[in-house]
């Protein structure tokens, strides 16, 4: 009887050791690959009319300030330039006393540009954040040098379009031609491109990428990146990781500004099933986004 009890006890210990070995000790190595990676992209809708693709301010309502050192004529011409472009496009420009997005200053210095021609003004974006779909303009400056005698505020419009990211035109009749004349007009293609670029709402757009994963037994290693490829900041959210539709890991992340992101490296995530076939990563936020298609990635087991 004692030998029987001893053998039963020995068998029980052996069974427990086998169970522990099966559940906790890594055996085979499993690799996972991306099964589906939908992406959202607006493409280069600016058609090389801009310094960089799809340049825009975060919102279509853009603030400006005109320096007190500007003459009354320059100030009035610049205000007319803001009004003119606002009437033709989806944009709306409004004056502020501080914290402006566009700063307008003036200089009475006459600067020659060659061939008896003179520079009438200078303008362009001064603070840009590069993104995957958009280049976000946060600040721009305009320097008015010469007063314009044109009926329309062509010089102000020319420099304002530079601040909005538009490059010079080779068309002599276009207001963005390097040499200014009173007969030049704003081409319809400029108006259309402004309205097209700003037709996208000022929202974040979270994207998963650079994913790699492998498992040793029941321990999963996972690398991936989270990036905000949208127009505005994301208020933060949560990453949820699934193994065959079962949550195996989740964690929160803080605000991610447009154009910024972070790399994640996770080690030894416990897999509840040794036969796990799919790993899914999902970003959950409270924000509305430009697209939700790139908030989720599924990785399929590669080796049999």
- Per DSSP bridges, beta strands 121-130 and 135-144 are antiparallel
Residues 6+ apart with CB under 8 A from 81: 153, 155, 156, 157, 159, 160
Model confidence pLDDT, tens digit, residues 20-40: 445 445 555 545 455 444 444
* Section 4-30 average pLDDT: 55
Q: Among residues of the chain, what percentage have pLDDT more than 90?
A: 53
Same-domain status, 228 and 276:
yes
Is 47 inside any structural domain?
no
Same-domain status, 285 and 191:
no
Range of lowest pLDDT (158-167, 283-292, 294-303): 294-303
Same-domain status, 212 and 294:
yes
Looking at the 3D structure of the chain, how many domains does it have?
2
Residues 6+ apart with CB under 8 A from 300: 32, 33, 34, 35, 277, 278
Is 17 inside any structural domain?
no
Same-domain status, 75 and 193:
yes
Tokens encoding 61: 């309502």
């Amino acid at each position: 009887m004692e030998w029987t009890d001893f053998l039963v006890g020995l068998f029980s210990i052996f069974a427990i050791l086998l169970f522990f070995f099966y559940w906790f000790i890594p055996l085979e190595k499993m690799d996972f690959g991306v099964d589906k990676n939908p992406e959202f992209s607006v493409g280069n809708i600016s058609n090389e009319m801009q310094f960089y693709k799809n340049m825009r301010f975060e919102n279509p309502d853009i603030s400006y300030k005109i320096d007190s050192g500007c003459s009354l004529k320059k100030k009035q011409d610049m205000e007319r330039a803001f009004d003119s472009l606002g009437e033709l496009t989806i944009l709306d420009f409004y004056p502020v006393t501080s914290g402006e997005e566009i700063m307008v200053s003036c200089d009475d210095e006459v600067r020659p540009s060659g061939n008896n021609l003179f520079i009438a003004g200078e303008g362009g974006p001064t603070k840009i954040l590069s993104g995957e779909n958009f280049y976000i303009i946060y600040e721009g400056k305009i320097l008015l040098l010469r007063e314009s005698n044109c009926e329309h505020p062509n010089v102000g419009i020319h420099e304002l379009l530079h601040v909005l990211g538009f490059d010079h035109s080779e068309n002599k009749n276009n207001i963005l031609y390097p040499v200014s004349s009173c007969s030049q007009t704003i081409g319809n293609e400029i108006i259309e491109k402004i309205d097209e670029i700003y037709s996208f709402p000022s929202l974040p757009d979270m994207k998963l990428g650079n994913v790699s994963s492998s498992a040793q037994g029941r321990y999963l290693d996972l690398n991936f990146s989270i990036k905000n490829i949208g127009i505005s900041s994301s208020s933060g959210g949560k990453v949820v990781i699934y193994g065959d539709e079962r949550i195996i890991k989740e964690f929160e992340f803080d605000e991610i500004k447009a154009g910024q992101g972070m790399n994640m490296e996770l080690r030894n995530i416990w897999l509840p099933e040794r036969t796990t076939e799919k790993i899914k990563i999902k970003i959950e936020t409270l924000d509305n986004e430009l697209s939700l298609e790139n908030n989720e990635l599924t990785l399929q087991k590669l080796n049999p």
